[in-house]
Chains A and B, each alone.
Chain A
Amino acid sequence: MTAEKIIPFAIERFERVLISYAKEITGDIESARDAVQETFLRLSRQDLVAIEPRLAPWLFCVCRNCALDQRRKVVRFSLEPLDENHETTEDSPAKNLMAVEDAQRLRGLVSQLPERQRELVNLKFEGDLSYKEMSEVMKMSVSHVGVQLHEALQTLRRLWNSEQKPVSTL
């Protein structure tokens, strides 16, 4: 990929996932957007060709730092997990994949995870990062990423099954 195409591609590919990831850290959407804007601006001041092979972990790592900075700045109203009344104002494009209700429930469960595990779930299932890339973003060992992610999945399974609501798509 040529340097000129990297930024448009990065915005196209990672805009939403980064905002989502940042929002998990900042707790509010505006701070998350600011963090992601700053992430892309920082990217634009780098040697894109050198970063391109590791673009995803680089973006998540920088986005994480920016989001943490935003979290320190803003007055946070609540760190409580998203409640079931959380609504999106836009039509979901995931209707074909998962019932909106089930998706909202699962997101709610993810939001109840400890912060690190929550981040790892986002990095894995939204950012599609490998263990190694996640270890770089989170500054932890690869094996610890595996352990933390395993615990996150165990928790989600337990919570999901405790509500005795099967995942509709399965």
Chain B
Amino acid sequence: MNDTRTTDYALGELTGGARDDFERELAVSDALQVELTDTIKMVTTLDHLPPSTECFDSKVRSDLLRACEENQAAFRRKKTLIRWGVPLGLAAAASVAFLSTLVYRPSVAELVIVQNGGAPIASLEEIQNPDASSATNAITGPAGESKTHLDPSTDTLAKNTTPQDIPQRSKSKSVVCPIEHDLTEQGLLTDEIGSVSSLASQLEKPGQTIPLKENQKDIRNATFGGRLVDTKVQRASEYSLDVDPSGYARIRAQILASELPPPNSVHIEELINAFTYNYAEKAGNSAFSTNIESGQAPWNEEHLLIRVGIRAQALAENVKVEVQFNPAQAAYFRLIGYENQRDSEKSIRFTTKVASPIEHTALYEVIPVGKSQPKSATKDFQRTQAVVEYQPVDTGDLLTMKIHHRPSGGNQCQLAVFRFENGSAKSFDKNSVDFRFVAAVAAFGMKLRHSPDSANIAWPKIEQIALGSLGTDPDGQRADFAKLMAKASSLEGRGISKNLFKAPFLAIQLIP
């Protein structure tokens, strides 16, 4: 008999139903009983074999025990390290990564643009290699402080700029090119009214960190168009180069159809940018030309109107324009248009891509220091007035303009910086044709939006400005606009009567 169950049973490995079955068979099988008895004898004999006497000698055993305990202690330390060190390490790495996003500063090159003619004073290469530029005289301050210095021999308007003048870094996640400057002033030219200081800088110093300052909070708190902003509270303004090109056509079609567009559907920035202006071509390696002009606001002689014209030439990406007003010069500012983007910050932060040369115009209305404070502005400021209070530093500049961008295909963000010096405001009539025309367009939009400020300027006045600033108008676009404004004016004038007498008019029309 060769039944493996006998061994299983003898060794206690037969269980459950199999054991019950085996025991039933066992009870009726003598042969199975003999087989099991012999197997149990052998199992018992093997169980009682004397244990092996071969072992370690005592010294080997004690050494082995000590080595094992040391290994185990090391194992426990390693386990503890993994249990706590890895999470802590990951947390630390995450913290470092997070902090690095706050202080990360892509390489910045500042482009130097000349206001008149748009020719850069220094090429990008010269800026990046300051020694190559004879006009450059850079003085680098201690870490965290950036100073600009203009060689007195080249410019009579030399000035020192405090760090507060130049935002060095933004905490805002959406700011693509936070910046830190060691500025070298290259030169300065003046235009009819104001002047533009052109700046150049060395490349940033990698790894240098600077604490967040008030001017950096500017950017984070920046609001958008439409409302007057107190520069003591907030002096930065941002806008995108992205403007819906069909906006003006839509408004035009409605007016030509004798319908005034709903006020909120009128986007002044779209109307302004529906026209072409005589902006300077970009020159050299610069991606942009800037065309800044100021004059009296036609709807309020005490207010300044600032036109910021940009010609973005080169295939840039992540373009964002930032304008900072000097609280010592500008008490309030208002970005004209962009009202509807105030609450959708992400859409305005930057233009993702400039694939072809574009022109962009923005208008700011500025209330200079010393002028009467607008009553309408007060309410808006109460909400944020306690947040930051700036100490005005009078550098003489009215505004500083920065264009953050990354050349297409490039890895480094660049920053073009322009300073616009406040000049003595001339009468509106002395401004350029383009300036006057764009002011008329803005006033037109304000009228359509029923802006309170537009009450100060009558339709005929706007028409007069438009007709007086047609310029060469090669495609007749401006003349068409003047006609459109006349139509809108008539619709506006008819508005009340149209509403009041709509039914009688219909009745009259239905009478054969």
Contacts and interface: CB of A to CB of B under 8 A. Distances in A.
Interface of A is mostly: helix
A4 B69 CA distance: 8
A146 B48 contact: no
A149 interface: yes
Interface stretch (B35-43, B145-153, B408-416): B35-43
Interface string A32-66: 11001100110111111000000000000000000
A92 B54 CA distance: 11
A7 B56 CA distance: 15
Contact of B41 (A4, A36, A167): A167
A147 B56 contact: no
B497 interface: no
A162 interface: no
Contacts of B56: 15, 19, 33, 36-37
A98 interface: yes
Interface stretch (B7-15, B185-193, B260-268): B7-15
Given A92-B53, A98-B50, A170 B45 contact: yes
Contact of B45 (A100, A149, A150, A169): A169
Nearest to B6: A150
A47 B54 CA distance: 28
A145 B115 CA distance: 94
B72 A17 contact: no
A94 interface: yes
Given A37-B60, A106-B49, A153-B39, A146 B68 contact: no
A140 interface: no
Contacts of B46: 106, 110, 121, 124-125, 156
Name the interface size band of chain A: 35 or more
Contacts of A46: 75
A169 B2 CA distance: 25
A79 interface: no
Given A17-B51, A106-B49, A124-B11, 19 more contacts: A8-B65, A11-B68, A19-B54, A33-B56, A37-B64, A40-B64, A44-B75, A45-B75, A88-B53, A93-B50, A93-B51, A93-B53, A100-B50, A106-B46, A147-B4, A153-B42, A157-B38, A167-B45, A169-B44
29 contacts: A3-B72, A3-B76, A7-B69, A16-B51, A16-B52, A19-B56, A29-B54, A33-B54, A37-B56, A41-B64, A41-B68, A44-B67, A44-B70, A44-B71, A44-B75, A45-B71, A46-B75, A93-B51, A93-B53, A106-B45, A110-B46, A125-B46, A126-B51, A149-B7, A149-B11, A150-B8, A156-B46, A160-B42, A167-B41
